């Protein structure tokens, strides 16, 4: 989003890569850039619920 690198992954040639997972991470970065105060949990997909970080969530996710 906005030309700012938000994610960097480095893989050795012997490690498999998953294009769908990379796309999911790009979509999550775009989502949080346009929805301040929200975060995408692990394995989040477009259309799923996001989180609003707070002390109430500590130890629950």
pLDDT confidence band for 20 (50 / 70 / 90): very high
pTM exceeds 0.85: no
pLDDT given at position 1: 58
pLDDT at res. 38:
95
> Which burial class, exposed, middle or buried, applies to 30 when counting CB atoms under 10 A from its CB (0-12, 13-18, 19+)?
middle
Condensed to tens digits (0 to 9), the pLDDT of residues 32-54 reads: 999 999 999 999 999 999 999 88
Q: What is the pLDDT of residue 58?
A: 83
Q: Is 37 left (phi over 0), alpha (psi -120 to 50) or beta?
A: left
């Amino acid at each position: 989003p906005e030309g700012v690198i938000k994610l960097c992954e480095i893989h050795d040639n012997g490690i498999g890569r998953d294009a769908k997972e990379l796309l999911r991470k790009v979509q999550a970065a775009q989502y949080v850039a346009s929805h301040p105060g929200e975060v995408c949990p692990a394995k989040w997909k477009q259309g799923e619920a996001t989180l609003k970080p707070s002390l109430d969530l500590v130890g629950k996710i």
